[in-house]
Amino acid sequence: MPKRALTDLDVKGKRVLVRVDFNVPIEQGIDAIALYDQRLRSTLPTIKYLRDQSSIVILCSHLGRPKGEVDETLRLAPIGDRLSQLLGCPVTSLSDCIGEKVSTHINERVPGDVVLLENLRFHPGEEKNEDGFIKSLASLADVFIMDAFAVAHRSHASVVGVTKHLPSAMGLLVKREVDSMSKALENPDTPMAALMGGAKVSDKILVIENLLDRLDHLVIGGGMAVTFLSACRKPTGASRVESDRIAFAKWVMEESGKRDTEVHLPQDLIVASEFSATPSRVATVDQGEVPDNWFIMDIGPKSAQSFAKILGQCKTIIWNGPMGVFEMDSYKQGTVTIGNTIANMQGVTTVVGGGSTAEAVESMGITDKLTHVSTGGGASLEFLEGKVLPGIDALPDK
């Protein structure tokens, strides 16, 4: 049953509490916020819609892991400053998220004002989903909008608790997330491919299990490929093999044959003598020729072109995980080649999982050329696994 959306709810002139996800890497410095502000920009449509409805917009988010205590390095005011620049209007950042001073300030606001509450996780009641904290937070508003897909898999006070006390709905961002991934899972145009990378097989087991019956192609790169290559008895040098996942890798390759799904592994690889951005030696080798004690760092150019050609035949692509150690410039070419190929495809539904994949796509400047880039890392994985997300489930049906 579809969930109630923002446009289904009367918000005109009301105080609207909006759960957003502004958990950006502030530890890299305030100036870095502008480099990693996809999560801020993705909430702008919801905020602008509410301002157009003369709502008083009350934003709430967590930042980092302060463990229920005030951490001066994790205050949200710098993020509020950046949001103000993006919106082109003032954003008032408060020094707490509940309490009499907060209530008084909000009661003095006028239609169209935007307020950013302080870090929710400064209070232990947020992660513990405590009733007292929930009621204090809910008392600030007339309506609740869930627009933080990245935390939709968390049963926290600001995610599920407030829905029991306020009329609630999905924000425009969450609706777009749910609609895009639901279509890819339930009614995809075919042929369909999953492009899986990243560090570990264990992170993607349930996703692969859930998708395998629907896929025409399963393309595997990144650290995941190491374990799959090991399952095929190919040398992997000093690269980390998830030995407890080799049986799963074998199962995937056996089952895919029964289900008319083609599994594609890299045929050549970029390897380095040390796991470093500046190793003493780097080489491109064929699949079965990884030297002892060397590290697999990226897929090779032949593999990148081959993967791009396979994906070019598809109408739906789900992508989760870079093809190499993308954070090191020397090993991002495989990801860049495939990302640019996907970005330039016409008439294709491309759904990109959050986390490191979203960061890679953003750094390449191709976000706007893809159908949907999720703002949620763990949440997008759990959605693709077929799990029910508490933050979505708690919202009323349409």
pLDDT of residue 200: 84
Residue 200 is among the residues annotated as catalytic for this protein: yes
65 assigned to active site: no
| Cα 94 to Cα 101: distance, rounded to the nearest angstrom | 9
List the catalytic residue out of 109, 200, 214, 240. 200
Looking at residue 381, its pLDDT comes to 85
**Alpha carbons 336 and 300: distance in angstroms, whole number:** 12
Annotated catalytic residue within 19, 39, 121, 245: 39
Residue 378 a catalytic site member: yes
What pLDDT is recorded for position 220? Answer: 97
355, 376, 377, 391: which one is catalytic?
Answer: 355
- pLDDT of amino acid 227: 95
Locate CATH 3.40.50.1260 in the chain. 6-175, 188-384
Please give the pLDDT value at position 395: 97
Comparing C-alpha atoms, which of 112, 109, 156, 154 is closest to residue 137? 156
- Give average pLDDT by consecutive 10-residue segment, the chain, 398 residues: 93 98 83 81 96 98 95 95 95 97 96 98 97 98 97 97 98 94 89 92 89 94 95 96 95 91 97 96 96 97 96 94 94 95 92 84 90 86 90 96
pLDDT at 228: 96
CB-facing half-sphere around the CA of 197: CA atoms within 13 A: 29
| pLDDT value of residue 362 | 85
Domain 188-384 has what CATH class? alpha beta
Note the pLDDT of residue 345.
Answer: 93
CATH number for the domain formed by residue range(s) 6-175: 3.40.50.1260
Say how many residues make up the chain: 398
The active-site residue out of 128, 176, 378, 387 is: 378
Beta-strand relationship, 56-60 and 92-93: unpaired
d(CA 46, CA 275): 43
Supply the pLDDT for residue 374: 87
Integer Cα distance of 43 and 213 in angstroms: 34
